[in-house]
Amino acid sequence: MTSAYCGKCFERGATAVAKSIAEGERAVCELCSKAGETWPIAVWAEALADVVAMYEPQDGGTELGVELRDQWSIFSSRATGDIDRFIDDLCQACSSTLRHTDGVALVEAARAQDAWLHFRETISRQRRWHSPVFVDAQRRLQLMVETRRDHLWPQTRDVFRARMCSDSRSRLNYRDLGAPPAGRATAGRANSSGIPVLYAATSELVAIYESRPVRGATVAVAHLRPRSGRLRLLDMTSLADVALNPFEAEASANTLIELRVATDLGRIIGAEFSRPVRLGDDIHDYVPTQYVAEYIAEQGYDGVLYDSSFGAIGGPDGANLAIFDLRVLTVVQKAPKHFAVTGVAWETAPV
C-alpha cells in the first residue's frame, strides 16, 4: 500500500493544489493519522518538485530535512508524524538522489547573495545611474516587497529620536532632534546625501542605544507621532504569509525560484539596513540600500521598518524606522525628555 497524505498536514493552499493534480481518496494520513481525503506521494511530489529541484548536495551544507522544515512554509502544525520519511519519499518520487540527512545548498539560480553582490558591486563601483543590472534589480525588488509584511503604524503610537548632548548640563530642543534640512543631510543607509530621511526608533530605549551614548552622558529623546492617519511601513523584520509557501506560489505568475530569491534578498537587505553607520565608513557602501529605500518610497510606503543592530532591546518591538517624508510626523510634547546614562551593558564573545 502506498503512503497517503492529507491536505491539512500542509500549509494553506495545499488541498487546492492537490485537487488540481488528481482526485483525492479517502484514507488514513501518514502524517496526522487521521482519516480523510488524501493524495499519494506522487501528487505531493508534483506539487513540491520545484522546491526539491532547488537543492544540490554540498558537503557541510544544511541538512535537507532542516531546510525544508525551517526555510519553507510547507508543513502545518497538524503534521506530527514522520516528516523525515515523507521527505525521503518525496525526493524519491521527484527522482532526486537526496535524502533528508544530506547536506545541501541552493542551486546557483536560487542564490540571492550572488544577485545582491553583483548589484552592490555595480552600483557602488561601476555605474550609479544607468545599467541593465538595475532593470533586473527592480524586478527582484518588486517581488521582494511582495514577500514582506505591510506594517500599519497607528496614529496613536509614538516613534522616538535620540541624540547625545554635548555635556551633562546642556539641553536640546526639538529643532536639534529633527532631520537636517535638505541640502545638509549626510548620506545614510536609507538616504543619499542632500536628500533627508527621518531615522527613528520604535522604543525610547532603542533610540537611546542607537545614539551610542557613553556612561555619564545625557541623551535627549524626542517623541514624534503620525500627523494624520496611519503610516504604511514596509516591514523588513518579518515575512508576509505567502512568502515561502510553495502551494500559494502556484497561484502567482512567479516561479518558486524567483520567490525564494526575493525572500532571501529581503533578509539580506534587512540586515544591510540594520548595519550601524560609523564614522570612517566608505559612504559609497550605503548606495545599494539607498537605491532600495528609494524604490520602496516609490511604491507608496511612508517608510521602512528594520531591526536595530542592538537586537530586540526594549521588547520584541524594538526596531528602527526610516521615514521618507518628514512631514508625516509631528512632535508630541513641548520639549524632548532628557536621560542620564547610568550604565551601558555590552556582551562579548571570543573570536
- The DSSP H or E segment spanning 56 is strand 55-63
Helix (H, G, I), strand (E, B) or coil at 111: coil
Nearer to Zn ion, 42 or 340 (CB): 42
DSSP states along 271-320: HHHHSPP-TT--GGGGHHHHHHHHHHHHTT-SEEEEE-TT-STTSTT-EE
141 near Zn ion (CB under 5 A): no
Q: Around 8, how many Cα atoms within 13 Å sit in the side-chain half-sphere?
A: 11
29 near Zn ion (CB under 5 A): yes
9 near Zn ion (CB under 5 A): yes
Nearer to Zn ion, 32 or 322 (CB): 32
Q: Near Zn ion by CB under 5 A, which window of 27-35, 56-64, 211-219, 308-316? A: 27-35
83 near Zn ion (CB under 5 A): no
Nearer to Zn ion, 86 or 324 (CB): 86
4-6, strands of its sheet edge to edge: 4-6, 35-40, 25-28
Q: Near Zn ion by CB under 5 A, which window of 26-34, 126-134, 212-220, 335-343? A: 26-34
Least distance from C-beta 100 to Zn ion, angstroms?
A: 18
Residues 193-252 that bind Zn ion (CB under 5 A): none
Residues 31-70 that bind Zn ion (CB under 5 A): 31-32
Pairwise CA distance, residues 77 & 240, whole Å: 18
Pairwise CA distance, residues 197 & 302, whole Å: 11
Nearer to Zn ion, 28 or 182 (CB): 28
Nearer to Zn ion, 26 or 125 (CB): 26
Least distance from C-beta 76 to Zn ion, angstroms?
A: 8
Pairwise CA distance, residues 127 & 172, whole Å: 41
Nearer to Zn ion, 6 or 172 (CB): 6
**Number of chain positions touching Zn ion (CB under 5 A):** 5
Among 4, 6, 145, 198, binds Zn ion (CB under 5 A): 6
Nearer to Zn ion, 6 or 328 (CB): 6
Pairwise CA distance, residues 188 & 268, whole Å: 17
Pairwise CA distance, residues 274 & 290, whole Å: 13
Q: Which residue is nearest to Zn ion (CB)?
A: 29
Q: Near Zn ion by CB under 5 A, which window of 1-9, 122-130, 242-250, 324-332? A: 1-9
Pairwise CA distance, residues 247 & 80, whole Å: 19
- Asked if residue 161 lies in contact with residue 219, where contact means CB atoms within 8 angstroms, the answer is no
> Which residues of the chain form contacts with Zn ion (CB under 5 A)?
6, 9, 29, 31-32
